[in-house]
Amino acid sequence: MVETQLRHRGIQDERVLQVMREIPREEFVRPEAQVFAYQDDPVPIGFRQTISQPYMTALMAEVLELKGTETVLEVGTGSGYAAAVLGALAAEVITIELIPALADFARENLTRTGRHRNVLVIGGDGSLGYPPRAPYDAISVAAAAPEIPAALLSQLREPGRLVIPVGPTDDQELRVVFKTGGNLDSRIATLCRFVPLRGSQH
Ligand code: SAH
């Protein structure tokens, strides 16, 4: 997976590649889906949600340029896999999941793999961010929104980075936003297709 799906497609950050080599992705899917854990696609995790394609998780982690000191907010915990990856690259991760049963699934997966120590799973609506621990050095949104929720931009530290799929169902661009000196700059990292962000901001 690391060589053919990630490095071959341009993921260069050696820390990202190493972490994705180490974290057992099969521990973050349902037992009946374990044979699909390393395939080059999203994999269903129940409740019509998916664990993202490995390349997408790698790209989102890479564009955040984490050094190991950051507090990261993730919106859309799902299986907990991306949270585990971010946790290995940053100081701590707060991750929010709207579906309570998936928050429980992620907590179990993180604990079983020993990745829970610096990853806090919160049940709730991440379209509002998570004010108690703001501001965040980096924010990763794993569900697609028609536009970037204002609450997330306001909870981003300066300097800070946010990555989010933006656009209609089935046709989004993965946007990387840099917040610095009172300005927001953004670039498009790739085209993508994520499940929709729900909650009160949308
Ligand atoms: N990062 C996950 C993939 C997440 S899929 C992984 O590595 O497995 C997107 C997730 O976002 C789904 O679990 C969905 O329930 C959740 N979601 C959608 N809208 C949300 C919201 N407003 N707040 C929190 N989670 C949300």
AA identity, residue 87: G
Find out whether the beta carbon of 126 lies less than 6 Å from any atom of ligand 1: yes
CATH number attached to the domain at 2-192: 3.40.50.150
Residues 6+ away with beta carbon under 8 Å from 131:
155
Active site residues: 52
CA 46 to centroid of ligand 1, rounded, Å = 12
Q: What pLDDT does 145 receive?
A: 96
Per-residue pLDDT tens, the chain, 202 aa: give them: 999 999 999 999 999 999 999 999 999 999 999 999 999 999 999 999 999 999 999 999 999 999 999 999 999 999 999 999 999 999 999 999 999 999 999 999 999 999 999 999 999 999 999 999 999 999 999 999 999 999 999 999 999 999 999 999 989 999 999 999 889 999 999 999 999 999 886 5
Q: What pLDDT does 200 receive?
A: 83
Smallest Cα–Cα separation from 186: which of 194, 178, 196?
A: 178
How far apart, in whole angstroms, are the C-alpha atoms of residue 202 and residue 101?
21
Q: What pLDDT does 104 receive?
A: 98
Find out whether the beta carbon of 27 lies less than 6 Å from any atom of ligand 1: no
CA 133 to centroid of ligand 1, rounded, Å = 19
Q: What pLDDT does 202 receive?
A: 56
